[in-house]
Amino acid sequence: MNDAIKPNRFKKDAAIPTPWKEHGLYPHIPKMARLAVLICVLSLIAIYAHDAVVQSPFFTVRQVAVSGEHRAKKQEILALAGLSDPVNIFQVNVPAMEKRIASHPWISTASVRRSLFYTLTISVVEQSPLAIVRIENMPDMIINAQGVPFKAYDPEQDHGFFLPVISGLDLTHTENLYHFEGPLFDAVLNLLHGQYQDRIIFIHGDPHMGITIHLPDRFNLNPQLENPVIPVSLGFDNYDKKLLRARQVSQYITANIPGKTICAIDLFDIDTVFVKTADTDVLDTNIEKGA
């Protein structure tokens, strides 16, 4: 009987190493070199894909949608956006384009968005004009709802809307920016943000006496002058209450002193109202004489 152990022909000899399993498919190439080759191949693929996209006429901007413009013209916006010549939609520098568009004096903010493969959408928010400020030895300027001057007033171009005119304010120049500040300017803003803003024609500010406004003559039942204007001194505060009080005073004078016409009202102190009046027949005589 032969008790010798025979080798198992189905079992692989573990003593024999398999080089490609132990050292990789290419044991003679270092791992860092293989990684560098892979990065180079991927970079070349990315560069080719990028060039194929930015040079393809399929991605050329063919449609531009502009919204929110009113004072600013669409042609002006497109010129600031730099879209006069064909441009690839993926080559558009969106932040730079938004900054150029917002440099238009009537535009407050601009937003640019890519749509589909060849459409740009430009949305703008325009300035909200509040008033015209008149400064001595300087061009008139328009301020927005925040009181910031944003452009010089041009009567030929900036028409089609009514804005009150302000005088008596001092312009401050700091950090290459012009702006207004101080209690008097704050008082003017409070007045313009009140409920009577749309009736004011002219505002004069005085650092000691506050604000005097000129309103259309709605205080007299039958105004004696053509396009009459009544000056009303309001001081520094309580503008809505003071203008309501002026209306009450005018109603009282109309009802109880019909022969008098209101010429001016002083409401610096709401509890002490001074009213300048004139006889109606005297005004008629002055009109006839051309006074």
Give me the DSSP letters along 257-286.
-TTEEEEEEEEEETTEEEEEEEEHHHHHHH
Contact criterion met (CB below 8 Å) for 118 and 91? no
Phi, psi of 102 (to 5 degrees): -70, -10
Question: In the prediction, which pLDDT does 24 show?
Answer: 53
Say what the pLDDT of residue 171 is: 85
> How many C-beta atoms surround the C-beta of residue 185 within 10 A?
21
- For residue 68, the tally of other CB atoms under 10 A from its CB is 16
Cα separation of 248 and 245, whole Å? Answer: 5
Distance between CA atoms of residues 89 and 157, nearest Å: 34
Q: How far is CA 231 from the centre of its chain?
A: 33
SS (H, E, C) 21-79: HHHCCCCCCCHHHHHHHHHHHHHHHHHHHHHHHHCCHHHECCEEEEECCCCCCHHHHHH
- CA separation for the pair 263, 231 (Å, rounded): 8
Per residue of the chain (291 residues), give pLDDT as tens: 556 666 666 555 555 555 555 555 555 566 676 677 667 766 666 555 445 445 555 567 788 889 999 999 999 999 998 887 778 887 888 899 999 999 999 999 999 998 777 788 999 999 999 999 998 888 999 999 999 999 999 988 887 788 999 999 988 877 777 788 889 999 999 999 887 666 899 999 999 999 999 988 888 877 666 668 899 999 999 998 998 999 899 889 888 888 888 889 999 998 889 999 888 754 443 433 332
Q: Are strands 202-206 and 210-216 parallel, antiparallel or unpaired?
A: antiparallel
Written as one letter, the residue type at 134 is R
Q: Give the position of tokens 């008097």.
A: 184
Amino acid symbol at 119: T
What pLDDT does 286 receive? 40
